[in-house]
Amino acid sequence: MEIRGTQIVDTFAEAFGMRFVRLTVTAHDEYWLEAALREFTGYGSSVIACDAEVGVERRLSADQTPDGRPGASVLVFGFSREVLAQSVPNRTGQCLMTCPTTAVYDGLIGSAERIAVGKQIRFFGDGFQKSKLLFGRRYWRIPVMDGEFLVEDRVGVAKGVAGGNIVIQGRSLDDTLAAARRGTEAVDCLDDAITPFPAGVARSGSKVGSVYKQLKASTADAFCPTLRGRVASKLHDEAGYALEIVVDGASEAAVARAMASAIRAAAGEGVVAIGAGNYGGKLGKYHFHLHKLLA
């Protein structure tokens, strides 16, 4: 299979079932919203070492937010509800409450599974915090130096899928970087999916295990161009560079849609092949076969 001269490798990506939270974050204007999002999503690339995988799902106009201000929908993925119950309040308190003018709302209102957020960080108010019940939803108003930080008491948790991926192989660095940008920008246009790595791209793809027993993951040597001849390479003969786009989504269908969009956008001049990373199908419940995604 080829798209605009790019070979689509007959392989599959292997992904995992995870839990996720959707937060609606608002602020006084785009400047402070961007500051809050940049802080909240930082160090949120991979659960290999981060407390969560985090990314902006979509921007929201003022008429799409609960308080009529500029906003964004943010997805936070973790392996369990218990993990999210730690990471989400911590990130909210440290990264959103600290940012001027922000407010935080639940983006999964109908979810039966829930974790405490405002209920945990309300104690920062030192006894001056106030609770408010509106339309069956409880909020906390925590006094801060620019007024009050409004945060929802509890937020919903749902089942999602994380670790869908494509590996872009290009002739030159410029070609590969440009293709990666096209791929991530295509995912940015979709709901229910994020690409949690820097600008959506990982250059340090990983495999399970290592020669060092203390590490649970290490470099994906099969896709490293400098290791040709020393390992069983999966790179196309003409590829000088490889970059990975990892996709987390609210459902299996959302990940499949995002991967297909990324492949179609990334393919083209200078990109010799697009494949994916997997672990032989032994670890992840979800297998995304590239040819089937594009059929």
- pLDDT tens for each residue of the chain, 295 residues long: 999 999 999 999 999 999 999 999 999 999 999 999 999 999 999 999 999 999 999 999 999 999 999 999 999 999 999 999 999 999 999 999 999 999 999 999 999 999 999 999 999 999 999 999 988 899 999 999 999 999 999 999 999 999 999 999 999 999 999 999 999 999 999 999 999 999 999 999 999 999 999 999 999 999 999 999 999 999 999 999 999 999 999 999 999 999 999 999 999 999 999 999 998 888 899 999 999 999 9
Half-sphere exposure of 171 (CA within 13 A, CB side): 10
> Could you write out the three-class secondary structure of 147-174?
EEEEEECEEECEEEEEEEEEEEEECCHH
Cβ contact 152:118 at 8 Å: yes
Residue of 12, 97, 87, 95 whose CA lies nearest to 280? 12
Distance CA 32, CA 66 (A): 17
Q: What is the pLDDT, as a whole number, of residue 207? A: 93
Distance CA 178, CA 173 (A): 8
DSSP 214: T
Q: How far is CA 173 from CA 132, 179, 180, in A?
A: 54, 10, 11
Q: Alpha helix (H) ranges present in the chain?
A: 30-41, 81-91, 118-121, 173-188, 252-266, 290-294
User: How many Å from the N-terminal Cα to the C-terminal Cα in the chain?
Assistant: 10
- Domains in the chain with CATH codes: 2-15+160-294 (3.30.70.520), 19-158 (3.30.70.520)
Distance CA 295, CA 291 (A): 6
Count of other CB atoms within 10 angstroms of residue 155 = 27
Which pTM does this prediction carry? 0.96
Distance CA 274, CA 286 (A): 19
